[in-house]
Structure formats: structure tokens, C-alpha cells
């Protein structure tokens, strides 16, 4: 029986900032299938600022895609997510 998943969505704020990379590593190595996709839902973040993404990529993880949508009520922020392909790790 395969207990791994093709897609996993995480919210990085559920882990302390100092452990976000550990969470990503755990999901990639123990939860995702070898060709799976980890989707990191950042939520609302200031335009031009990718602090959540930076806190993960500074540990060597490569972002393979991202989506950014303008906030409907506040032009200073966007709603954002990005993904990491486990097959490229």
C-alpha cells in the first residue's frame, strides 16, 4: 500500500520560522511521492516581498512555480502560493 501523496498543501505559518525548512524537508521525503508536488500556501503578503518563500529557499529548496493574485480590497498586498517538485530535489 502506498501511503504517499501526489500533492500536498502546507501552510508554513504552522511551523516556527526556524523550522519551516525542516517541515518542507519532512513532507518531501516522507509524505510526497517521488514525483509529487509540494504546494506552499503563503496567503497574504506585501507586494514585492517574498519573505516566506525566502525562508524556505535559503535552505536550498528550489521553487518551480508560483501564483500571485491581487488582494481584492488592498493593493498593498497579494495572495500567494508557490510549489516545489519533489522529482527535482
Give the domain range for residue 82.
5-88
The string of pLDDT tens digits covering residues 5-30 is: 999 999 999 999 999 999 999 999 99
Closest CA to 85 of 27, 35, 12: 35
When computed from its CA atoms, the radius of gyration of the chain, rounded to whole angstroms, is: 13
The string of pLDDT tens digits covering residues 32-77 is: 999 999 999 999 999 999 999 999 999 999 999 999 999 999 999 9
- Rounded Cα gap, residues 41 and 77, in angstroms: 15
Beta bridge partners of 50: none
- CATH at 73: 3.40.50.150
Considering the entire predicted model, what is its pTM? 0.91
The 10 Å Cβ neighbour count of residue 5 is 14
**Number of domains comprising the chain:** 1
Amino acid at each position: 500500500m502506498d501511503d504517499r501523496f501526489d500533492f500536498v498543501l502546507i501552510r508554513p505559518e504552522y511551523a516556527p520560522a526556524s523550522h519551516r525548512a525542516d517541515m518542507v524537508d519532512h513532507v518531501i521525503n516522507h509524505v510526497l511521492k517521488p514525483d509529487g508536488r509540494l504546494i506552499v500556501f503563503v496567503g497574504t503578503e506585501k507586494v514585492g516581498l517574498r519573505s516566506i518563500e525566502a525562508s524556505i529557499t535559503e535552505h536550498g529548496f528550489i521553487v518551480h512555480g508560483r501564483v500571485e493574485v491581487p488582494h481584492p480590497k488592498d493593493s498593498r498586498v497579494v495572495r500567494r502560493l508557490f510549489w516545489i517538485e519533489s522529482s527535482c530535489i
